Amino acid sequence: MASSFCECVGVELPVVLAPMGGAVGAKLAAAVSNAGGLGVLPLWGGDVENLRKVVRQTKSLTAKPFAVNLNMDFPQEKLLDACLDEGVPIISFFWRDPTPLIRKAKDAGAIVLHSVGDAEAARKAVDSGVDAIVAQGWEAGGHVRGTVATLPLVPAVVDAVGDVPVIAAGGIADGRGLAAVLALGASAAWIGTRFLASEEVEIHPDYQQRVLDASENDTTHHNDLFNVGWPDAPHRVLRNSTVDLWETEGRPPSGDRPGEGEVIARSPSRGEILRYQSYTPGPDAEGNIEALSMWAGQGLSMVRKVQPAAEIINEIVNDAKSILNRVTV
C-alpha cells in the first residue's frame, strides 16, 4: 500500500506514529518502523545526551527509517545538530516556523516534515523547502496547532502544496480513517491515540485504561489549561477532575486557578508533578494520576483493546485496503 509519502521517506505503509511526548520511546518507534510504517521519536524536551541515547536505542531495534520530532516552541538547534550527527534520516518539526533549521537539516541529507494547521502555513513550509506536510486537524490529541477539522483541512492543504506529500492527522484511529484521508488526497495518516493502547507505549496503566474506557465525547480542548512547562499551547485532553475543578470555579486564568501549585503526583524520573502541569503520566508516576494531563484525540471510540503496534498497523492497513477495494464510481 505504497504512496508518494512512502516513496519520499522509504517506508512500505502510509502510517506514521504521532510523536506523543512522554509516551513514545525507542520500543514503540522501532516497532512501528519494523511493521512498515514510520516511527517518530518525541525528543525535543530532553538534553543532547538523552537524545543520543534514545536514537541509538532505536537504531539497535530497527534498521528501518525513523524520525525525530523537534518542537520549535523551545530551543532546538543543539538537538538538531545531535540528530544529524547521529544520522537520523528524517526530521519532523512542530509548532513554530522551522525555516531557520530546515536548510541545515536538508544540507545534511535529512528529509524534513513539518506540522501545520492551515493551508497558508503549508504553502510557507513548502516554500521553505520541507519534503512533506503534516496537516493536523482540530480533533487531534495532545497539543493542537490548528482550529480546522481534519475533513476540510486535508483537501485544502493538498490543493495548496501541489505534489508535496501530505500526512493527515487528527481523529484517525482505524482503517476507515486511513481510507478516508487517502480519498481526500493525503498520502499517509499520522496516528497517535490508537497507539496509546499499544503494548510498547510508555504510559501509566491508569492512563491507558482511561483511553480504553473513553468515548469520542470524553475529550476537551483548551487554549491554556495544562500549561505549566509549556504555556500558550492549545491542547486536547481527557476530561478529568482538574478540568472539572477549573470549570466549576469559572475557568479563571493562570495564577488564579484552584489548586494552582499543588503537588498532585511524583515520579522518580520527573520529580514533583503539579496540577495543571504539561506532563504525560508515565509508568513510574505515583499519586493522583487521574488529575494529570491525559492527552487524547477524538478517535477514542475506535480504541478498545491493547495490541502490539505491528498488529495495530496491520489491522488499520488491511481494513483500509478492503474499504478502498469496495469503492466503485
pLDDT by 10s per residue, the chain, length 329:
678 999 999 999 999 999 999 999 999 999 999 999 999 999 888 789 999 999 999 999 999 999 999 999 998 999 999 999 999 999 999 988 999 899 999 999 999 999 999 999 999 999 999 999 999 999 999 999 889 999 999 999 999 999 999 999 999 999 999 999 999 999 999 999 999 999 999 999 999 999 999 999 999 999 989 999 999 999 999 999 999 999 999 999 999 999 999 999 999 988 999 999 999 999 999 999 999 999 999 999 999 999 999 999 999 999 999 999 887 55
Q: Give me the pLDDT at residue 224, please.
A: 85
Q: Give me the pLDDT at residue 298, please.
A: 97
List the alpha helices (DSSP H) in 86-149: 99-107, 119-127
Number of H helices, E strands in the chain: 11, 14
Q: Give me the pLDDT at residue 329, please.
A: 54
Q: Give me the pLDDT at residue 96, please.
A: 87
Q: Cα(83)–Cα(89) distance, rounded to whole angstroms?
A: 9
Candidates 233, 259, 228; CA nearest to 245 is: 259
Q: Give me the pLDDT at residue 327, please.
A: 75
Instruction: Output the CA–CA distances (angstroms, integers) from residue 69 to 8, 26, 44, 48, 138, in the order listed.
Output: 17, 13, 7, 14, 19
pTM across the whole model: 0.95
Q: Cα(169)–Cα(153) distance, rounded to whole angstroms?
A: 10
Q: Give me the pLDDT at residue 328, please.
A: 59
As given in the structure block, the three cell numbers for residue 115 are 506540522
* Domains identified in the chain and CATH numbers: 4-201+303-326 (3.20.20.70), 219-295 (no CATH)
Instruction: Output the CA–CA distances (angstroms, integers) from residue 202 to 2, 42, 118, 229, in the order listed.
Output: 29, 12, 31, 20
Determine how β-strand 271-274 pairs with β-strand 263-267: antiparallel
As given in the structure block, the three cell numbers for residue 136 are 493536523
Q: Cα(203)–Cα(186) distance, rounded to whole angstroms?
A: 30
